[in-house]
Structure 1
Amino acid sequence: MTVTFITGANKGLGRETARRLIELGHTVLVGARDPERGAEAAAALGARFVPIDVSDDASVAAAAADVAEHEGVIDVLINNAGIPGPVGDPGTFTSTEALKVFDVNVIGAVRVTTAFLPLLRRSPDPVIVNVSSGMGSLAYTHDSSRSESKVIAPLYTASKAALTMLTTQYAKALPDIRINAADPGYTATDLTGHSGRQTVTEGTDAIVALATERPGAGSGRFVDRHGEIAWS
């Protein structure tokens, strides 16, 4: 049985990823900051709820301890939790806003990965999926034919660029673990104001694909629902 832990799994991409992986036979742990929404999502999905605030060291440590006590192992870690931050004129942004976006979207992935590494290393085929975005791609945001080039969200895009680089570095530093990044694409979720062209199911295609690959599939890759894409 594959045990999968997903952060930010009470709604949107995280919840749909949980639903799909449960259908594929995974034992899914729904990680969420809000206890009421997290418990509701887990009950509806047939998963177990584990409270976690990825921006809080103590909360992350408690979540890892909870999983160590109950499951004892993690096969797949999906770092999905993220926030959009402010958009538009960066002249109005504050350092507090910037720190919050990076604390959740980048440092949150560092916190959770560090805390769960001992559990991942108990798995015969440990996997980490970082939910990044084409919004963090220099090539995509400079290509006028792509939707990524139309949005001005400096803090969010910068944080996702950092997360993709973090993925490549972790893949090199941790060769015993398969670590890849997923680009969900422009998906209709709360984060996009439900303006995305893709359904939430389509938006989870790349995440689910990376979470269910066979051993030896490769590490340090950036994948969308159509396949592997260039790091740029």
Structure 2
Amino acid sequence: MNQIERLHAEIPSPAPNSVALVTGGNSGIGFAIVQQLLDRGVTVWIGARDLEKGQLAVKELGSSARVVELDVTDASSVAAAAERIGDLDILVNNAGVNPGREDITATTVEQLRTAYETNVFGLIAVTQGFLPALGRSAHPRIVNVSSGTGSLFWNSNPNPQFDWEQVQGSGLAYRSSKTAVNAVTLLTAQALGDRFKVNALAPGLRRTNLIAGMSVGGDPAEAATGAVRLALLPDDGPTGALWSWDGTRAPW
């Protein structure tokens, strides 16, 4: 049994009538997360900034998927989406942007603002907007899609599994925003208590729009399996941690 098969086997069945929202669920890792949750009988809303792209994703996924227009950087859009969806058990904060790979010598303040508006402030806004609905759930789960490149431990103690030397210092906007996501995850878990399960996922380098132009990256479905595991954690499962896609705990 390989890692993916093992992870699938370990994922428990969802509670009956579970409802999930996956932001940025119309492509990449988000699309794969939606697909795998649907396969397990979860009703899934795709949060899409571009409604037309979200509708195309629904057509591909089938009638069990739903779409809601959701721009995580727009407070009115978040509020409207929360009103439309109603009850919610699982929130996957997957929407993210990568405005560039420049280091401190070339990164612009505008690039930093772009990264933080979506990756950090948008994530917080969506979480806050859906907290009342999640609070009504018997099994509330929040999964924040982060990045191993945001791990301060791995950045200061390069993991031999990755070619960290070639990327040291690069990607200031994106990587620092994911470090912030890790902090937000931990503090959210502490604030909400053990009934909520709030965790972050390090999905690994994947073939998605975030790395457009790079001829590298693994299958987004592998990363999605790690996210689905966190989305369907049992009530005695962990909270307030960063997890690699393969189910092992990653360092902050």
Category of TM-score, reference length = shorter chain: over 0.9
Number of positions where the alignment pairs a residue of Structure 1 with one of Structure 2: 228
CA contact (8 A) 2:189 2:199 kept: yes
CA contact (8 A) 2:24 2:30 kept: yes
Deviations 1:61-97 (A, max 9, x none): 11111112xxxx1010000000011112433332222
1:208 alignment partner, SS class: helix
- Give unmatched runs, 5+ long, in structure 1: none
CA contact (8 A) 1:129 1:211 kept: yes
| 1:116 equivalent in structure 2 | 130
| 1:191 equivalent in structure 2 | 210
CA contact (8 A) 1:88 1:153 kept: yes
| 2:66 equivalent in structure 1 | 48
CA contact (8 A) 1:8 1:80 kept: yes
Q: Which amino acid aligns with 2:232?
A: T
Q: CA deviation at 1:121?
A: 1.0
Q: CA deviation at 1:192?
A: 1.6
CA distance in structure 2 between the partners assigned to 1:200 and 1:153 by the alignment: 21
- CA separation of 1:230 and 1:183: change in aligned 2, threshold 3 A: closer
CA distance in structure 1 between the partners assigned to 2:126 and 2:28 by the alignment: 20
Q: Give the TM-score normalised by the residue count of structure 1.
A: 0.93
CA distance in structure 2 between the partners assigned to 1:159 and 1:32 by the alignment: 21
| 2:243 equivalent in structure 1 | 223
Between the two structures, name the one with larger relative contact order (CA 8 Å, sep ≥ 6): 2
| 2:8 equivalent in structure 1 | none
1:205 and 2:225 matched = yes
Q: Which amino acid aligns with 2:241?
A: R
| 2:182 equivalent in structure 1 | 164
CA contact (8 A) 1:205 1:224 kept: no
Deviations 1:132-186 (A, max 9, x none): 0101012222316323553320110100000001100000000131100011111
Query: 180, 186, 190: which one pairs with 2:199?
Result: 180
| 1:65 equivalent in structure 2 | 83
- CA separation of 1:150 and 1:209: change in aligned 2, threshold 3 A: farther
Q: CA RMSD in A?
A: 1.5
CA contact (8 A) 1:140 1:149 kept: no
| 2:22 equivalent in structure 1 | 6
| 1:100 equivalent in structure 2 | 114
Q: How does 1:136-147 map to 2 (within 5 A)?
A: 136-142=150-156, 143=158, 145=160, 146-147=162-163
Deviations 1:93-126 (A, max 9, x none): 3222211110100011100000000110111010
1:170 alignment partner, SS class: helix
CA distance in structure 2 between the partners assigned to 1:37 and 1:80 by the alignment: 16
| 2:98 equivalent in structure 1 | 84
Q: Give the TM-score normalised by the residue count of structure 2.
A: 0.86
